[in-house]
Structure 1
Amino acid sequence: MLKKERHDFVMRQINLHNRVLTSDLVQLLNVSEDTIRRDLQELSDDNLLYKVHGGALSKSYHSSFDDSTVYAKDAKIGIAKKALSLIKDGMFILTGGGTTIIEMVKQLPENLQATFFTISPLVAVELAKYPKIEVILIGGLFSKNSQITYGGQVINQLSEINVDLCLMGVSAVHPTDGLTDTDWEINQLKKTMLSSSKKTAVLCISEKLNITLRLKVAALGQISYLITELEPNDESLKPYQAKGLQIL
């Protein structure tokens, strides 16, 4: 594979999943770790991503204060607006992190009265702009790669709550394999979030559909809503509807 093809592949993966791991790219591209490290350094030098220990982060994932480089921003805004229909005054809501969740928070009604638990400091900052929203940031270890808190302390705190709705971004969704990811720690965190919520909505752009990664997060039966930028009657969503998901 030519270097340009590798670079294009890396950027597609980072745009879809907000982060990439060197070890995963080595396997996916069947090249040496040194080659991947050089590729990531070159892409970082070109200001296309942030190179970090063990991989790289999306430019748009690094901060909620500069959304000029958010991948598929229009699609994510469309998803965010659909998600608003699930949020009502008086609800207790749990959120993950990521650019789609941040876009959703930016669309909330100004006078919404609700309590939000979140594992994302960036989401918490956006929520704090609303005068009638109570914000509870679940604290613990901080993942520089995923920009969220994680670990045993976070899981223990999450296990003690029972919220009305969990709003979660995902790395991959498949009609048979369900939700999957590549990070073990984040996987355990998402499992706990699901068990701490009466209903869960998955927010994802359609490019993440029909993809399976290495680690199982949950079966589709554990999810209540699937929200994409597509029309609910889109042909590609029918396998998910057949699994009992409500499509928005």
Structure 2
Amino acid sequence: MLKEERQAFIMRQINLHNKVLSTDISTMLSISEDTVRRDLKEMAEDGRILKVHGGAIGRSFHYPFNAENMVYAQEAKQQIAEKAIRLLKNDMVILTGGGTTMIELAKRIPENLRATFFTISPLVALQLVEHTNLTVISIGGQLSKSSHVHIGASVINQLADIKVDLCLLGANGFSVQNGMTDSDWEVVQVKRAMIKAAKKLAILSIAEKLNSSQRMKVCDLNLINYLITELPPAHHVLSTFQHLDLELF
């Protein structure tokens, strides 16, 4: 495989999953980790990605408020955000994760909505607090350098003390076979605690991430109440999810 093809593949994986691990890319492409590291170094020097320990992340994910960094599939994420708003009702208590889709949601919340939002993402909190009628509570702890959400035991302990009406999460991997998955063990633990704290769970994901899996399981699909993508619920791409006991938006 040519270098340009390798780097295009790496870039797509970063766009889809926000973060890639060198070991995973090595396995997927059947190349050495040294080759992957050289590619990541070159891509970082070109300003296309940011290198982190063991892999790389996307610039738009790390700096979502920087207009120079194009958000991947931004139009699709905006459509998902518009659909997710239909789940929000006055006086609800809502818990959110982080990521660019969640920021798009926070931008679009109606000004007349009265609700309380807990979030593990300082970036989402900053966007939510612009809305006059929202109470915004940031659940704090160690800030992950790669995912920009709070992680660790203090976050999990705080989550154990609350009960929310609705949890809104993004997914790095989502499939019928493996459920919802992620590549970061600390984030997996926090997401599990978020799910336990919620009466209902909605997953917000661009359709490209469906039928993909990461290394670590977050939960089985039977814990999910709503799957929200940019596609119509009857779209053939969603056919494997249409028979499940969850509502497609």
Aligned to 2:184: 183
Kindly provide the amino acid, as one letter, of the partner of residue 191 in structure 2.
Answer: K
**Distance apart, 1:31 and its partner CA:** 2.4
Instruction: List per-residue Cα deviations over 1:58-98 (Å, max 9, x = no partner).
Output: 11111232255000010000000000000011010000000
| Alpha-carbon RMSD | 1.2
TM-score by length of 2: 0.96
Aligned to 2:21: 21
TM-score by length of 1: 0.96
Preserved CA contact (<8 Å) 1:175 1:210: yes
The runs of 5 or more residues in structure 1 that have no matched partner are none
Instruction: List per-residue Cα deviations over 1:10-49 (Å, max 9, x = no partner).
Output: 1011000111122322222232222222111111122111
Aligned to 1:155: 156
Q: Distance in 2 between matches of 1:80 and 1:90?
A: 19
Moved more, 82-91 or 184-193: 184-193
Q: Distance in 1 between matches of 2:20 and 2:148?
A: 13
Q: Distance in 2 between matches of 1:246 and 1:171?
A: 19
Q: Distance in 2 between matches of 1:3 and 1:187?
A: 33
Aligned to 1:118: 119
Instruction: List per-residue Cα deviations over 1:96-147 (Å, max 9, x = no partner).
Output: 0000011011110012211111010100110111111111111111111111
Kindly provide the amino acid, as one letter, of the partner of residue 66 in structure 2.
Answer: D
Aligned-pair identity in percent equals 52
Aligned pairs, how many?
248
What SS class does the counterpart of residue 147 from structure 2 fall into?
coil
Moved more, 168-177 or 90-99: 168-177
What SS class does the counterpart of residue 50 from structure 2 fall into?
strand
Preserved CA contact (<8 Å) 1:18 1:58: yes
Aligned to 2:128: 127
Moved more, 90-99 or 181-190: 181-190
Aligned to 2:227: 226
The runs of 5 or more residues in structure 2 that have no matched partner are none
Q: Distance in 1 between matches of 2:236 and 2:35?
A: 40
Preserved CA contact (<8 Å) 1:97 1:123: yes
Preserved CA contact (<8 Å) 1:114 1:134: yes
Q: Distance in 1 between matches of 2:64 and 2:112?
A: 21
Q: Distance in 2 between matches of 1:224 and 1:105?
A: 21
Aligned to 1:194: 195
Q: Distance in 2 between matches of 1:72 and 1:46?
A: 21
What SS class does the counterpart of residue 61 from structure 1 fall into?
helix
**Distance apart, 1:241 and its partner CA:** 2.2
Aligned to 1:12: 12
**Distance apart, 1:239 and its partner CA:** 2.1
Instruction: List per-residue Cα deviations over 1:214-244 (Å, max 9, x = no partner).
Output: 2111111000000000011112213212111
Kindly provide the amino acid, as one letter, of the partner of residue 192 in structure 1.
Answer: A
